[in-house]
Structures are given as C-alpha cells and as structure tokens.
Amino acid sequence: MTQVRVPPRPRTIFTLAGVPVQVDPTAPVGAIGVWGMCWLLVGRRYPGRSVALRALLTCLWTGLFFSVFFLHSLGHIVSARAAGAPMGALVITATHWLTWYPNSGVPPQAHLGRAAGGPLANLAGLLIGHGLRRVLPSGPLGRDLAEAFLAFDAAIGAAALLPTPSFDGGALLKWSVYAATSSFPRAGRAVQAAGLGVSGFLSVLGLGALSSGRRWTGLVLAVSGLIAALESTRRE
Ligand SMILES: [Zn+2]
C-alpha cells in the first residue's frame, strides 16, 4: 500500500532489506486483530479440533499473514530502488501499513515502478506457494499451511490492486493517467471515480451477503465499501 503520511512517534523495530520498519503505539492492536481473524478462520477450517491445536494453527497462520505482508513490502523496497526513488520507511499502525517515500517529486515512471513492486511480489508468492503445496505432505501442519499462504497472498495482492487513493492500484491508475495526459486533475478524477466504483461494488456485494444470512461476510464487505468511499472522497 502506498502513503506519504507518517504517524506520530514511530519507533524502528528492525530493518527489512536496509529499510527501517517502524511501529507506532497502536500497532499491537492491529496485530491482535490479525490474530483474531486467523482464530476465526482456523475455527471455520477445522471445526471441532482442540483449543491447543486451534491456538497453534492460529499462531502459524498469523505468521504466514505477516510473512505475506513483508513479502509485499519487500517487493516495494526492491522496485522503488530499481526505479531510483527508494523507500524511506515501512510504518505500521493499528489500521495502516504505510510505505513512506521521502521523495514524492519523482517522474511518473518512478511512481509506477515503486507501486508495482508489491503486487508483483505477491505474484511471486503465488508461485512459491504453489511449489510448496506440491512438495508438502497433506494435513493442517503441511499442505494446508501452503494453502493458507496462497490465500493470504492472493487476498493481499488483490486488495492492494484496488484502485482507491491509498492503495497500489490507485497509484498505478493515477500515474498511468498522468503519464498519458500530463493532467493532475484528470488523474485525480480517474482515481476518485474508480474508488467510488469499487465502493459501490463492495457495498452491493455486502448487501447481497447480508440478505442471504452471511452476516460477517456482509459486514466486512459493507465496511470495506464505506472505507473505499471515504478514501475516494478524501482530499489529498
Ligand atoms: Zn503495496
């Protein structure tokens, strides 16, 4: 995901390929949220298993989720360097994972290059996951882990490509339109229109899920649609 704002009081916890990975005081809330999501997913995937096995698998799936996130971020780090516009920091808060670039005054091709790296890394992740799936033995501690990795990789890659302003898809659309037209207003309008389209699509899907009794799916889709609408109408 692409952003330029840096939250208050970030603290560097380690470096990823030479780029500081920083957290703010709210970051643990996000990590707990991911753990809770994995707890629910593991419960649905393996109903009736012991609490100990569910907790173990939840920890493993949480690790897989973050490994996919860091793979995505590594893609941005590598592509930003190749584009001559390196990343300054990767900043994690409760609600956002920000790829912070200190230099925004770079050519459109550099913006496109550094935005493309994350989704391309997810594509590489899909190939790695498929390879692991073929060699691992079946079972919750074998092939199923490769399948969870594949699912997280596909989900994060697809979400990143949504054409809303803070996401890679929005950056790719904005700078593609700008490269073609040399017009910032047209590029901005294109991203706003695409974001509102995504918002409407997610909201309709959410209402459909709610009306068919899938409460949690409907709620997640409806909230995602609302966030996409707010993102798209936000002034940059
Ligand atoms: Zn990204």
How do residues 11-61 score in pLDDT, each as one tens digit? 899 999 999 999 988 999 999 999 999 999 999 999 999 999 999 999 999
**If you measure from the C-alpha of residue 5 to the centroid of ligand 1, how many angstroms do you get, rounded to a whole number?**
15
CA 213 to chain centre: 27
**If you measure from the C-alpha of residue 120 to the centroid of ligand 1, how many angstroms do you get, rounded to a whole number?**
10
Q: Would residue 18 be called left, alpha or beta, if left means φ above 0 and alpha means ψ between -120 and 50 degrees?
A: left
Mean pLDDT of 122-127: 97
| DSSP secondary structure string for all residues of 74-121 | HHHHHHHHHTT----EEEE-SS-EEEE-S---S-HHHHHHHHHHHHHH
The answer to whether the CB of 116 falls within 8 A of the CB of 78 is no
Mean pLDDT of 225-233: 80
**If you measure from the C-alpha of residue 211 to the centroid of ligand 1, how many angstroms do you get, rounded to a whole number?**
33
**If you measure from the C-alpha of residue 166 to the centroid of ligand 1, how many angstroms do you get, rounded to a whole number?**
9
pLDDT at residue 83 tops 90:
yes
Other C-beta atoms closer than 10 Å to the C-beta of 5 total 10
Sign of CA pseudo-dihedral 144, 145, 149, 152:
positive
How do residues 167-189 score in pLDDT, each as one tens digit? 899 999 999 999 999 999 999 99
How do residues 183-217 score in pLDDT, each as one tens digit? 999 999 999 999 889 889 989 999 999 999 888 88
pLDDT at residue 1 tops 80:
no
At residue 4, the pLDDT reads: 46
In eight-state DSSP terms, residue 152 is H
What H or E segment, with its residue span, contains residue 208?
Answer: helix 184-211
Mean pLDDT of 61-68: 97
**If you measure from the C-alpha of residue 167 to the centroid of ligand 1, how many angstroms do you get, rounded to a whole number?**
6
**If you measure from the C-alpha of residue 208 to the centroid of ligand 1, how many angstroms do you get, rounded to a whole number?**
29
**If you measure from the C-alpha of residue 218 to the centroid of ligand 1, how many angstroms do you get, rounded to a whole number?**
25
Residue 230 binned pLDDT confidence (cut-offs 50, 70, 90):
confident
**If you measure from the C-alpha of residue 47 to the centroid of ligand 1, how many angstroms do you get, rounded to a whole number?**
33
Poorest-pLDDT segment among 2-6, 116-120, 203-207: 2-6
**If you measure from the C-alpha of residue 3 to the centroid of ligand 1, how many angstroms do you get, rounded to a whole number?**
9
**If you measure from the C-alpha of residue 157 to the centroid of ligand 1, how many angstroms do you get, rounded to a whole number?**
8
The answer to whether the CB of 198 falls within 8 A of the CB of 224 is no
**If you measure from the C-alpha of residue 169 to the centroid of ligand 1, how many angstroms do you get, rounded to a whole number?**
8
